Amino acid sequence: MRYQVYWTPQTQLKELQGADIDFQAFNQVSFTHRFLPSGHVIAVWHSKANYLRDKRVADLPSLKPGQSYLIRRDSENSERMHAYLAVTFLDQEGQVISTQHKNSEEIEVTAPSNMDSYRISLLSAGSGSFIFHSVTIQPLLQEEGDLLAGDESLENQVNLYLDHPEKVTSKTLRVIFSEPELHRTHYVNDVVTPSQQAVLYIATDLLHAQAYLDDDLDEKIQEAKKEVKAREIEFVGYGLVSSYAALKWQERTKNSAAIISDPAIDQAVAYADLMPADLAEFLKAIPAWVAQHTSQDQAFLASPFTTHYQVRLKVPHPNEDRLTTLTYEDLPLPKKDFAPQVETAPVQEEVSTAESQAPEKQPSKRAQKKAAKAQAAAQKAEEKAAQQEAAHQAQQEQANADKPEYKRSDRSQRLNNFFTQK
């Protein structure tokens, strides 16, 4: 998972006197300052903020204590000025635990165990101008990969990860496009149910949503299909942009199908107005295109909780829960279950008839002696058991006879005499 942090008008700024800031695009901010000394803070992002006091909200993701992260800065520096990052960790009292900074494009940090919040500062080095694009934060992987160990990153900001089970029984490769988000790029492998079907996950962010249609993906999809020995491809999208990509690739690919979200539920792409003009026009045209290219037999994903009910959320988020309604092929039965079912009843009748008609074999003398001995031993055991039972019954009768027998009238008389004497 990778988080994207941008410089917006809501970002806390420092050293504004004498500075020229131009928000040219959502991911392109030009900063110019001819007299700013090196080491001064230009902008600050916080993971925790008090809106009533500071009139701002948190603009950094939460970090897990003890986890290592890789923080990258994407900017275009000039000859006289560039920017670098400083990461400061704070405890619950707001006291500084540690600060790490490095005059390079990326910095590796480890969140302290007693960390409560942190902030990232953009500092100046030299005077002049630079263009800021974004800051990315992602967990530091122990194995080779970008978003996930073993995945692949393309030059067009698209990531691919092939989930190839040890035993693949399905002949259909499932390709799932992640719904592009503004501040996060991730695969949805933690939502999809594990099965014996190979799945190719493709992810990008909202600013690079058009990269889902690049021809470079065709080669990667065909390589994955060949690797898992699939015959068909099923493209899946759970939002407007991912559904658009699924339908587009279905048109391009033979022996393929598409499962998308219902365009009647998703009305518009979130944050489309904030994007550059060409990208905003592309995103705004998607709902109408998806509605026009949806056939009557199109398979839709539905929400498992509130089907056909749209909640008006102030903070848009992708409906990843729709992927839980994906259907899966039945697992193959063991080989013994594929054995032909032979009707054995008539055969048994024929065998029994043949046995009844065949002459019975006479047992040998040795077998007859063994059978006679076994019968005599069984008879002797039965006689012994009968004798023991008779002896036990006789003892029980003798014990009952030794007990004094009282009549009801005698007992009543004794009780009467007892109370009379008292």
pLDDT tens-digit map of 316-355:
667 777 887 777 765 544 444 434 444 444 444 444 444 4
pLDDT at res. 390: 77
Count CB neighbours of 43 within 10 A. 21
pLDDT tens-digit map of 158-176:
999 999 999 999 999 999 9
pLDDT tens-digit map of 206-261:
999 999 999 989 999 999 999 999 999 999 999 999 999 999 999 999 999 999 98
Which architecture, in CATH terms, is 2-139? Sandwich (2.60)
The position carrying tokens 């014996």 is 196
Q: Which two three-digit tokens encode residue 3?
A: 């988080």
Q: How far is CA 141 from the centre of its chain?
A: 18
Whole-number Å distance between alpha carbons of 133 and 30:
9
The mean pLDDT of 266-279, rounded to a whole number, is 88
Domain ranges of the chain: 2-139, 152-332
HSE-CB of 253 using CA atoms within 13 angstroms: 26
What does each C-alpha distance from 49 to 53, 114, 199, 231 come to in angstroms? 9, 18, 40, 52
